[in-house]
Amino acid sequence: MEKTDDFVKQITKKSEDFSRWYTDVIKRAKLADYAPIKGVMVIRPYGYEIWELIRDQLDRMFKDTGHQNAYFPLLIPESLLKKEAEHVEGFAPEVAWVTMGGSEPLEERLAIRPTSEAIICSMYAKWIKSWRDLPLKINQWTNIVRWEKVTRPFLRTTEFLWQEGHTAHASCKEAEEETLSILEIYKTFIEKYLAIPVITGLKSDSEKFAGALKTYCVETLMPDGKSLQAGTSHHLGQNFSKAFGIRFENKNQELEYAWQTSWGVTTRLIGALVMVHGDDSGLILPPEISPVQTVIVPISRGDWKETILPQAENIYHELKQNNIRVILDDRDTYTPGWKFSEWEVKGVPVRLELGPKDLEKKQVVLVNRINRDKKFVPVENLVETLKKLLADIQSELLSRARAFNASQTHIARTESEIIDIIETRRGLVKTAWCGSPQCEIPIKEKASATIRAILDQPDSQFEKCAICGKAPRHTVIFAKSY
Ligand SMILES: [Zn+2]
Domain with CATH 3.40.50.800 in the chain: 292-391
Positive or negative, the CA dihedral 232, 407, 195, 25 is: positive
CB-side neighbour CA atoms (13 Å) of 403: 7
Ligand 1: distance of its center to the CA of 261 in Å?
30
- Residues linked to residue 310 through DSSP beta bridges, in sequence order: none
| pLDDT for res 85 | 83
pLDDT at 24: 96
Please give the span between the terminal C-alpha atoms of the chain, in angstroms, as a whole number.
40
Host H or E run for residue 417: helix 415-424
Give the model's pLDDT for residue 4.
Answer: 43
Q: DSSP assignment of 8-22, as one string? A: HHTSPPTTT-HHHHH
CATH number for the segment(s) 292-391: 3.40.50.800
For position 301, what pLDDT does the model report? 87
How far, in Å, from the CA of 418 to the mean position of ligand 1?
Answer: 13
pLDDT, tens digit (0-9, with 9 covering 90-100), for 383-434: 999 999 999 999 999 999 999 999 999 999 999 999 999 999 999 999 999 9
Rounded to 5 degrees, what angle do the CA atoms 435, 436, 440 make? 100
| Ligand 1 midpoint to CA 440 (Å) | 8
Q: What is the pLDDT of residue 8?
A: 45
DSSP 150-192: S-BTTTB-SEEEEEEEEEEESSHHHHHHHHHHHHHHHHHHHHH
Q: How far is the CA of 437 from the centre of ligand 1 (A)?
A: 8
**What is the predicted pLDDT for the residue at 9?**
60
| Cα of 478 from ligand 1 centre, angstroms | 14
| Start and end residues for every CATH 3.30.930.10 domain found in the chain | 7-277
CATH class of 7-277: alpha beta
Return the SS3 of 376. Answer: strand
Q: Say whether the peptide bond before residue 153 is cis (omega within 30 degrees of 0).
A: no
Q: Residues with Cβ within 5 Å of ion ligand 1?
A: 434, 436, 439, 465, 467-468
Taking the centre of ligand 1 as the mean of its atom positions, its distance from the CA of residue 179, in whole angstroms, is 28
Q: Which of helix, strand or coil describes residue 329? A: coil
478 sits in the region (left: phi over 0; alpha: psi -120 to 50; else beta) called: beta
CA of 419 to the centre of ligand 1 (A): 15
- Ligand 1 midpoint to CA 433 (Å): 5
The CATH number of domain 409-479, selected from 3.40.50.800, 3.10.129.10, 3.40.50.150, 3.30.110.30: 3.30.110.30
Low-confidence residues of the chain: pLDDT under 70: 1-9
Distance 122 CA to ligand 1 centre (A): 40
- Ligand 1 centroid to Cα of residue 214, in Å, is 20
User: If you measure from the C-alpha of residue 173 to the centroid of ligand 1, how many angstroms do you get, rounded to a whole number?
Assistant: 30
The Cα 225–Cα 221 span in angstroms is 6
Centre of ligand 1 to C-alpha 184, Å, is 30
Q: Where, residue-wise, is CATH 3.30.110.30 in the chain? A: 409-479
